[in-house]
Chain A
Amino acid sequence: MAFFLETLLGGLMSGMLYSLVALGFVLIFKASGVFNFAQGAMVLFAALAMARFSEWIPGWLGIESLFVANVLAFAVAVVIMFVVAWLIERLALRHLVNQEGATLLMATLGIAYVLDGIGQTIFGSAIYKIDVGMPKEPVMMLESVFEGGILINKEDFIAALIAALLVISLSIFFQKTATGRALRAVADDHQAAQSIGIPLDRIWVIVWCVAGITALVAGIIWGSKLGVQFSLSTIALRALPVVILGGLTSVPGAIIGGLIIGVGEKLSEVYLGPFVGGGIEIWFAYMLALVFLLFRPQGLFGEKIIDRV
């Protein structure tokens, strides 16, 4: 029982990390109808920027404190993601308005190549570390309930907390601010939003910026767990089942989907994996999402698809 709970909690926490990446997808799809395959590349790019600047800044400014260096690097990385978002909107997406979904998807794949290339040219392609002072040691919990207690990774726990905080602040931003309302209006209906004077260009830049910042947060957390390296950009592929399971247009869907996928993956790997040779978590997540989709083709929380002739 304790082992099962431990696996379950591990799954929930890794699920939160998936939903962090999935959030980026959902934000952009909601506001502009672009299925952004470049999200993984953005995570890698942001993490690379963060890792390298936190390495360089102490040398440039002569700062000793790790904390100050990290804060400065974070600020620089945020600015960089703003610039990236602006450039993507300005140079690519603005010219692709009203194209088909598949074309836009391919365009974001092209953007992903460009980001991968530029990121590795500027920041180098070795493995870097991000050290934001996450505690690494595991802790025991509920020792009074179970014999031996449950082993929990503190780092995962903090990461899940950060993810939850980010989601809450994003929901407040979407629900309570004027910009958030404009974003929701654009997501609802482009033309109607435009006709009441919401500037589409600016909204898209904002959305890409927000997606860039979620990418940065995801990049920092994943990067401090796994190290910043090229394979970081493939976590977008791990987050895709989360997105379709939760629904392409739903922020809470991304969270719940992430939790379901995280738990499903961990449980299947532990209880099913040994029978079929292991390593099944990546396709199992997709199968799991597929099973849900067979019953709800628009994902758990997606907008209902209505067919009209």
Chain B
Amino acid sequence: MFYRENGQFKTTYKADQQAFVIPQDRWAIVALVAFAFLGVPLLVDEYMFRAILVPFLILSLAALGVNILVGYCGQITLGAGASMAVGAYAAYNFMIRVDGMPALAAILLGGLMAALAGIVFGAPSLRVRGLYLAVATLAAQFFWDWAFLRIKWFTNNSSSGSVSVADINLFGWTINSPTDKYLFCLGVLVAFSVMAKNLLRGNMGRQWMAIRDMDVAATVIGIRPMYAKLTAFAVSSFYLGVAGALWGFVNLGSWEPAAFSIDRSFQLLFMVIIGGLGAISGSFFGAAFIVILPIFLNQMLPLVGSLFGLEVSIALVSHVEIIIFGTLIVFFLIVEPHGIARLWATGREKLRLWPFPH
């Protein structure tokens, strides 16, 4: 009833090509962002910020990066964690080696370094495709894992590659309370999402999608595969690098290479596939699912166990947790292989007709 576009006529090209064509969508997004900035800090307690919301925001940003590459350009990557690591460690190095480097600039420069590394390790995509490429990107993962453990220069000679940074200072605003961290990450995420939305509906995004749909056909109509694929790798790695720097600087404070291990890469790929390939909203849904599910299971299982009078050991909880996690993933893939974003789109189609079915 409220969600219909009947009678909305566009009279200019500008109106027809804007990011959110339907006004209801536009206002819903604006309301959501406003609520996230103003409403959420009033409603939520500190634990929620620290354990759920900040990780959710940063991993959404990372998932967005993976989605650009996998969902929009069709290049499967298993080296996403490595890009995050490069971003985090590069930002750390800019922070400690350059005097008076502002934290935000260091984070963005970290993203740029990750983009450069992404271009280098994305170069095989020009020759190698599909699952072969997925395995080839693991080379980046293992190489950077090794580099940050063994090459002492990257980690300022700290043992086992663990480094730590002070609280971020942004134009006099010191980010140390959970609420500050939340607002800062939210700001970055909103800015990067707007950028992604615009990139994807522009020339570059269309080139990526053409390559994804069929790269030979795209080449025939004059799209340079090298340019398209490498820009996709660069942009995706930039997002991942910024997310990695945020993960290190804001969420963890001090970290070691294991924070960006291959499990992180798998986790990010899970997010975009469960959330929905080729949909920006899918990155958020997927990140929410993957962040919340383990916490939920962790809290629920001992409760369920005590309900039946069973004493559940910690080891058993962690085992049952991964069993349920794995089962749910398989279940989700079977029920909706196109991800939560597709469910959302179907729901919206239904809403358009509601309450009259025809």
Chain A residues proximal to chain B, CB less than 8 Å: 35, 91-92, 95-96, 99-103, 105-107, 109-118, 120-121, 125, 237, 240-241, 243-244, 248, 276-280, 282-283, 286-287, 289-290, 293-294, 297-299, 305, 307-309
Residues of chain B with a CB closer than 8 A to A99's CB: 333, 337
CB 8 Å contact bits of B122-161 with A (1 = contact, 0 = none): 0010011111101110110011011001110000000000
Is the CB of B322 closer than 8 A to any CB of chain A? Answer: yes
Residues of chain B with a CB closer than 8 A to A102's CB: 70, 76, 134, 269, 273, 277
- Residue among B124, B132, B321, B327 with most chain A CB within 10 A: B132
Asked whether, in the complex, the Cβ of B333 is within 8 Å of the Cβ of A106, the reply is yes
Given contacts A99-B337, A102-B70, A293-B128, contact A121 B150 (CB under 8 A): no
Given contacts A114-B323, A243-B135, contact A309 B220 (CB under 8 A): yes
CA gap between A245 and B202 in the complex, in Å: 38
Asked whether, in the complex, the Cβ of B124 is within 8 Å of the Cβ of A290, the reply is yes
Is the CB of B270 closer than 8 A to any CB of chain A? Answer: yes
CB 8 Å contact bits of B313-350 with A (1 = contact, 0 = none): 00110011111011111100110010000000000000
Asked whether, in the complex, the Cβ of B323 is within 8 Å of the Cβ of A293, the reply is no
Q: Top 6 nearest A-B pairs by Cβ distance? A: A113-B326, A117-B323, A110-B329, A286-B139, A114-B326, A283-B142
Asked whether, in the complex, the Cβ of B135 is within 8 Å of the Cβ of A240, the reply is yes
Residues of chain A with a CB closer than 8 A to B134's CB: 35, 102, 105
Asked whether, in the complex, the Cβ of A283 is within 8 Å of the Cβ of B217, the reply is no
Asked whether, in the complex, the Cβ of A244 is within 8 Å of the Cβ of B132, the reply is yes
> Min CB distance, A195 to chain B, in Å?
25
> Min CB distance, B209 to chain A, in Å?
16
CA gap between A290 and B140 in the complex, in Å: 11
Q: Which residue of A lies closest to B274 (CB)?
A: A106
Q: Which residue of A lies closest to B131 (CB)?
A: A35
Residues of chain A with a CB closer than 8 A to B132's CB: 244, 248, 293, 297-299
Question: How large, as a class, is the contact surface on chain B?
Answer: 35 or more
> Min CB distance, B136 to chain A, in Å?
5
Asked whether, in the complex, the Cβ of B323 is within 8 Å of the Cβ of A118, the reply is yes
Given contacts A106-B273, A280-B146, contact A286 B329 (CB under 8 A): no
CA gap between A95 and B269 in the complex, in Å: 21
A sample of 17 more A-B contacts (CB under 8 A), given A96-B334, A110-B328, is A35-B134, A95-B334, A107-B334, A110-B330, A111-B326, A112-B326, A113-B325, A117-B322, A117-B323, A121-B316, A240-B138, A248-B132, A277-B150, A286-B143, A290-B139, A293-B124, A297-B129
Asked whether, in the complex, the Cβ of B319 is within 8 Å of the Cβ of A293, the reply is no
Is the CB of B27 closer than 8 A to any CB of chain A? Answer: no
Asked whether, in the complex, the Cβ of A111 is within 8 Å of the Cβ of B131, the reply is no
CA gap between A118 and B76 in the complex, in Å: 29
Asked whether, in the complex, the Cβ of A282 is within 8 Å of the Cβ of B142, the reply is yes
Asked whether, in the complex, the Cβ of B127 is within 8 Å of the Cβ of A294, the reply is yes
Residues of chain B with a CB closer than 8 A to A92's CB: 330, 334
Residues of chain A with a CB closer than 8 A to B333's CB: 96, 99, 103, 106-107, 110
Is the CB of B216 closer than 8 A to any CB of chain A? Answer: yes
Residues of chain B with a CB closer than 8 A to A308's CB: 216
Residues of chain B with a CB closer than 8 A to A241's CB: 135
CA gap between A38 and B272 in the complex, in Å: 20
Residues of chain A with a CB closer than 8 A to B138's CB: 237, 240, 286
- Residue among B124, B151, B319 with most chain A CB within 10 A: B319
Q: Which residue of B lies closest to A288 (CB)?
A: B139
CA gap between A13 and B128 in the complex, in Å: 29
Residues of chain B with a CB closer than 8 A to A278's CB: 150
Asked whether, in the complex, the Cβ of B270 is within 8 Å of the Cβ of A109, the reply is yes
Residues of chain A with a CB closer than 8 A to B146's CB: 279-280, 282-283
29 contacts across the A-B interface (CB closer than 8 A):
A92-B334, A96-B333, A100-B337, A102-B134, A106-B269, A106-B329, A109-B329, A110-B325, A110-B327, A111-B326, A113-B325, A113-B329, A120-B319, A121-B316, A121-B323, A240-B138, A248-B131, A277-B151, A279-B146, A283-B139, A283-B142, A286-B135, A286-B136, A286-B143, A287-B143, A289-B135, A293-B124, A294-B128, A297-B127
Residues of chain A with a CB closer than 8 A to B136's CB: 244, 286, 289-290, 293
